[in-house]
Amino acid sequence: MSLDLPQVAPAVTAELVQGLTPRLRKRLDAGITKLAGRPSVRDGDTVRIAVDDDTHLELHAPGGTVTTTDAIRCGCLLAPDCLHRAAAASAAPIADSEPEPGCGSGSGSGSGSQSMPDAVPASVGEDAPASANEPISASTRSASPAESDTLTPDQRAAAQAMYDAAAAVLEAGADGAGAVLQAELLRAAHTARISGLPRIAASAVSVVTQLRAARCADPAYRLTDLTATLREVLGTAHRLPGSTGPELAALRGTARQPYSPDGSLRLYGLFSEPVLTATGYAGAVTWASDAEGRLHTVSDVVPGGPGRAVGAADRAVRIGDTALTHRELSRAGLAVSGATVSPTGRLGAGAGVRAVRASGAAWREDPLAGLWALPVADQVSRALTGGDGLLFLDVILTGTVREAAGDCLLADCDGLTLRLAAAHDHPALLYRDNLRLLAAAPGTRLRVVARLDPSPLPRALLLAADHPRDPGAHLDLGLDRLQHADLPAPAMAPVGSPPAPDEAPLHLLRRRVHQAASAGRRVLAFPGDSATDSRRLGRYGFACAGGLLDELRSAAADRSRDVFGRLVPADVNRFAHAWLAAAHYTEEVDRSLCAAAWGADPALSPSPSP
């Protein structure tokens, strides 16, 4: 959208679309497109759009968010039940009081999924802004009705409504999921949030945001991210009714991460990374370690675009009275008293927290050097069993290899051929430019920080590296520009491309999962013989995958007729179940193949951190 619109609460959009007549609903998508070409003016908290020469539309957003339907006013004759109000709400960014891009998503922010996937670090956006973070006592948490051991009737109804809305989106695919289906999903998200299911509510909002990005050809859109988030929504809604105890608590999620007191901390900065998500959040996250190797984060992520992702690194961190910027903290230290920490290691910034600048440490000095001492297989096991996803590796650059998303670096890591890809593709961030320069220096030895990218081949997203000519310094590859003068003379490196790996043909099932998310059930209902693909999967030992593929195609093509020969509505529930089973299977197999490629065992607990 070219309009500069304020954020609109999901419930407002859902209510306005619900109030349209069936005739106007059919015209809603065209109305959104037409509205995008109209001139608009922002005056403080009010945005005015000239619908035509005689009609104006106003959005009032105190604090930057439209929270009631009355805040959107139109001067046309059909108001308040007009198309213009619903179109404006559907075109505006979605407001979310708790930015949670990392829920189920799979980091990623970029070429694949940044471990979460539009990939955002798990520590980003899990809770309210840092300035509001205060310790939440156990007694306060247990008093909440959302903490009961079984699902309440309201939550059960909300989960079913969410499943139905997500199944309808899957039936239509991103190509057919227009504003009406998006509004139904937003309504389900609002119902889930007020009934105490914040995890699935946040994931549903993320699905709508990605659907909008797909339909307007936003370059930040990634089909893999939409598929992963839609699987998260359907899977969570499917599992909620039968869950109890700790599993139910995890599926419910938390609207705000609890922060517990952690006394005094002495932290050493590791690196900073810019954050830019497809769900509309931007900023920076700085990682630090204490003397025992425990990782902590300080984040500044709010709604914004590429400019904020780049500029946030030069903003002061919001903790205590320190004047350190994120860029400075990544190379310095921090002494914190009265610290509060979330379960994922994010530092709180409550009124009782005090922090002052302290000396830092180089990566090859204690205590940071201990992070690289842990065996790589144990690090991968930690990442696959719910860790932060970070890998601390010593590598030798050996060349490049071409992938569908572009070239990536090849590196030798203790005898393992590793692929290092850019953590984000956006041109405002420097990841890809820096990777191109590093590719011109084969034979260079580097100590790097990367984020595991689960795939059948050893692959990671490169976040930071020590300076090629100064091992005592490091570069945050999304923020610091590498120069040709920084590169050493090329050393001898293996000549030629690596042999093509003998991969299991799991893509035969994965691409059908992605096709359904993109184009809906109809794309899999076209006449064709899937038996060849099923037999090929069976020859590689993936008989289960072949059966899932057959069921997916069968569910998509299952259309019966009534006694008059008319097509009856498709069984949306059967198709959603078949798709969910196939999506979950491919994710779990990818995880197992990733562990095997790295020589790790995700079922075992990793060795203690250094």
Over residues 464-488, the pLDDT tens digits come to: 999 988 888 999 999 999 888 888 8
Choose one of 226, 252, 278: the last residue of a domain. Answer: 252
Does residue 606 form part of some domain? Answer: no
Q: What's the CA gap between 346 and 588, in Å, rounded?
A: 28
Q: Is the pLDDT of residue 329 over 80?
A: yes
Helix axes 28-36, 179-194, angle to 10 degrees: 100
Q: How confident is the model at residue 198 (pLDDT cuts 50, 70, 90)?
A: very high
Measured between its terminal Cα atoms, the distance across the chain in Å is 49
Shared-domain flag, residues 141 and 122: no
- pLDDT band for position 97 (50/70/90)? low
Paired sense of beta strands 354-358 and 333-337, if any: antiparallel
**Residues spanned by the domain of 378:** 101-131+258-501
**Cβ-based neighbour number of residue 23 at 10 Å:** 8
Regarding whether 268 and 380 lie in a shared domain, the answer is yes
Between CA 591 and CA 602 the distance in angstroms is: 8
What 3-state class would DSSP assign to 511? Answer: helix
- The region of weakest confidence among 13-22, 87-96, 121-130, 230-239 is 121-130
Same-domain check for residues 153 and 299: no
Q: Among residues 161, 240, 230, which one has the least CA distance to residue 576? A: 230
Quick check: is 580 in a domain? yes
**pLDDT-above-90 percentage for the chain:** 51
What's the token pair of residue 107? 């980091």
Is 121 among the domain residues?
A: yes
Q: Is residue 192 domain-shared with residue 324, that is, in the same domain?
A: no
Cα separation of 303 and 309, whole Å?
Answer: 10
Whether residue 605 lies inside any domain: the answer is no
- Do residues 309 and 120 lie in contact, with contact meaning Cβ atoms separated by under 8 Å? no
Clarify whether residues 375 and 248 are in a common domain: no
Whether 148 and 260 have beta carbons less than 8 Å apart is answered as no
Q: Give the Cβ contact number of residue 362 at 10 Å.
A: 17
445 pLDDT higher than 70: yes
Cα–Cα distance measured from residue 418 to residue 422, given in angstroms and rounded to the nearest whole number: 13
**Does residue 535 fall inside a structural domain?**
yes
**Which amino acid, one-letter code, is at 310?**
V
What are the CA-CA distances from residue 239 to residues 207, 227, 508, 524, 591 (Å)? 18, 18, 27, 26, 20
Q: Which residues of 137-149 are buried (b: 16+ CB within 10 A; e: fewer)?
A: eeeeeeeeebeee
Which of 459, 479, 501 is the last residue before a domain boundary? 501
Per-residue pLDDT of 13-50, as tens digits, reads 999 999 999 999 999 999 999 998 888 898 888 999 99
- The span from the CA of 8 to the CA of 205, in Å, is 12
Residue 608 within a domain: no
Model confidence pLDDT, tens digit, residues 204-217: 999 999 999 999 88
For residues 267 and 364, membership in a common domain is answered with: yes
As for how many domains the chain has, the answer is 4
Burial class (CB in 10 A: 0-12, 13-18, 19+), 302: middle
**Which residue carries 């990374």 as its tokens?**
273
For 324-385, give the secondary structure using H, E and C: CEHHHHCCCEEEEECCEECCCCEECCCCCCEEEEECCCCCCCCCHHHHHCCCHHHHHHHHHC
Q: Do 516 and 476 have their domain in common?
A: no
In a domain, 513, yes or no: yes
Whether 305 and 396 share a structural domain: yes
Question: What's residue 176's pLDDT?
Answer: 94
User: Looking at the structure, do residues 495 and 551 belong to the same domain, yes or no?
Assistant: no
Asked if 319 and 347 touch (Cβ cutoff 8 Å), the reply is yes
| pLDDT value of position 295 | 94
pTM of the model: 0.83
| Burial readout 261-272 (b: 16 or more C-beta within 10 A, e: otherwise) | ebeebebbbbbb
Q: Which helix (H) or strand (E) holds 40?
A: strand 40-43
Alpha helices in 177-325 (DSSP H): 179-194, 198-215, 223-239, 245-252, 306-311
Q: Is 263 found in the same domain as 245?
A: no
**With contact defined as beta carbons under 8 Å apart, do 417 and 405 qualify?**
no
Average pLDDT, rounded, for the chain: 84
159 lies in the same domain as 127 = no
Domain boundary among 501, 535, 555: 501
> If residue 435 lies in a helix (H) or strand (E), which one and from where to where?
helix 431-439
51 in the same domain as 176: no
226 pLDDT higher than 50: yes
Can you give the pLDDT at residue 530?
67
Cα angle value 517/522/528 (rounded, 5°): 110
For residue range 364-381, what is the model confidence (pLDDT) as tens digits?
999 999 999 999 999 999
* Interacting residues of 470 by C-beta distance below 8 A, sequence separation 6+: none
Cα(9)–Cα(20) distance, integer angstroms: 18
| Per-residue pLDDT reduced to its tens digit, 57-69 | 999 998 889 999 9
